[in-house]
Structure 1
Amino acid sequence: MVSTRYEKITAADGGVFDAFCAVPDSDSAPGVLIFQEIFGINDNIRGLAERLAAAGYLVLAPDMFWRIEPRFERKDESGMADGVERVQQLDFQLAGSDITATLAHMRAMPACNGKVGGVGFCLGGALAYLFAANSRVDGHGPDAVVSYYGSAIRGMLDLAEKIECPILFHYGDRDPFIPAEDIEAVEQAMAGRPDATVYRYDAGHAFSNWDAPSMYDEASARVAWDRTIQFLDDHLRA
């Protein structure tokens, strides 16, 4: 049975922030960090964390807006403007430091077997990419990363050569926030990597978010999730 709680993470600069934690029915499990959309750690992110825990993963979802508004949370499209405002205030360098602190916390948890992956959505899709490129604890970065429709990745492709782990991307072909040429740029940047895969779906932005009815695409979300779980199983359970 899955249990949930909040963990306290100590940031590199001494602050403390919350991370939603979902724990599987296991004494030792691989870990996964989930990175939020612009809506914060809401029902959708908590639900995804619980689904991952049910699949046998120890999960942490760090509050990436804690320096702006701790526990900020919005439910759906009605909170879009509030979320965008928080993103505009987000310091990505500090966010990267907080992600690394979360990775260190995860690896130190007794229930974590040492292997850690990451999954991110929207804003979190870009944060997952940064996680793969930049986060290292004692020289060891994540073991596998999945990025869902990260709109900022096109501007971060100079970091691609720093990614040392297998990485999987999900994009919607009808995404109004990510032009086709941006997806093509990611495909081209990853073309020479046997451990990188880019999937496209006949869907729009945030197609995995069941809490945002105008965006959610159940069929695409199901296929992408099955691929995500298989990818994590392949690289975190080997």
Structure 2
Amino acid sequence: MIDNAVRAKAIALYDRYTHETLDRRSFMAELTRLAGSAAAANALLLSIAADPAVAAIVPPDDKRLVLRKGPYEIDGGSMTGYFAKPANVARKLGAIMVIHENRGLNAHTEDVARRLALAGFFVVAPDFLSASGGTPADEDKAREMIGKLDYKQVIAQGVATIQRLKTLENTNGKAGTVGFCWGGAMVNQVALAAGKQLDAGVSYYGPAPAPAEAVRIQSPLLLQYAGNDGRVNATGAPWTEALKKAGKRVESFTYPGVEHAFNNDTSSARYNKAAADLAWDRTLAFFTRYLA
């Protein structure tokens, strides 16, 4: 039985591996030392890492939705996107771009897109690894590929996707974005680049830009942080303070005692249902206010 103190240290170690420069061999050696044996380390890793076999909250064959995965055109090029919208809705909808974690466009991100569609939005989750051949099944490979991306190009693709969403026949001319971890960081960057073209942004535990950039933000932002996420919070607190000082429309919440990626229900050690539900309710209320 792994106690909470060991689990917390293992999560911090895993974050160093997945978000910083710790290589897999060193990570597994340190995790084995922490857990006491190779078998215990592997069991601990399974509880921390995302499990693609976990059942989706909204099933991928939900008849209440219209779903499609395929290419869409932006600026003379194309990306792969997962599209979701409610079925049998005649009114024009606010649009949302979902930006994935550093694992790429996986089943969990697609599930998040379906949840937003059920709430009454037109949703696309782009695969920002499209130009590299698309998101691979191997999460370590996906993280490696994301580390090699041209971030200026990624931000430009995000802005172009927002622009496209605003012009679709079945959308109402308003578009927002939500992102998680790597995607949460990209929400802030897209907001900086898009200016008034972005109508709302929600960032979940995303590393923040330099506080001096806050004066450039023109869209309302909702920032959500995990209490135990010191790495991200070290940037998030100054960013929030700078946005408020600059008179920007910002709401910021930190959920005490929860881990980075607390919204990801495919990771049993990280997921916190109470915090995830509260953050989700705030997300839907925010998008309804600015996109409906």
User: Could you state the TM-score of these two structures normalised by the residue count of structure 2?
Assistant: 0.72
Question: Is structure 2 residue 80 aligned with structure 1 residue 18?
Answer: yes
Letter in 2 for 1:215: R
**Structure with higher helix content:** 2
Q: Check the 8 A contact 2:69/2:82 in 1, yes or no.
A: yes
Equivalent residues in 2 for 1:1-238, closer than 5 Å: 1-12=64-75, 14-25=76-87, 26-27=89-90, 28-73=92-137, 79=139, 81-135=140-194, 140-151=196-207, 153=208, 155-175=209-229, 177-178=231-232, 180-192=233-245, 193=247, 195-202=249-256, 203-237=258-292
4+ residue stretches of structure 1 with deviation over 4 A? none
8 Å Cα contact 1:43/1:211 also seen in 2: no
- Per-residue deviation at 1:170? 0.3
In 2, Cα distance between the equivalents of 1:83 and 1:157?
A: 30
2: distance between equivalents of 1:104 and 1:73? Answer: 30
Q: Using the alignment, how far apart are the partners of 2:194 and 2:137 within structure 1? A: 25
Q: Residues of 2 paired with 1:162 and 1:73: CA distance?
A: 37
| 1:3 counterpart letter in structure 2 | V
Looking at both structures, which has the greater relative contact order when contacts are Cα pairs under 8 Å and sequence separation is at least 6? 1
1:5 maps to a residue whose letter is: R
Deviation, 1:194, is: 5.2
Aligned equivalents of 1:72, 1:198: Cα separation in 2: 33
TM-score, normalised via structure 1 length: 0.87
Judged with a 3 Å threshold, the aligned counterparts in structure 2 of structure 1 residues 187 and 107 are, in CA distance, closer, same or farther, namely closer
Tell me the secondary structure at the aligned position of residue 67 of structure 1: helix
Q: Which moved more, 1:220-229 or 1:204-213?
A: 204-213
- Tell me which amino acid in the other structure corresponds to 2:235: D
Q: CA deviation at 1:93?
A: 0.4
Q: Which runs of 5+ in 2 are unaligned?
A: 1-63
- CA gap of 1:212–1:144, structure 2 versus 1, over 3 A, is same
* 2:132 match: secondary structure: coil
Unaligned runs of 5+ in 1: none
RMSD: 1.8
**Partners of 1:114 and 1:150 in 2: how far apart?**
26
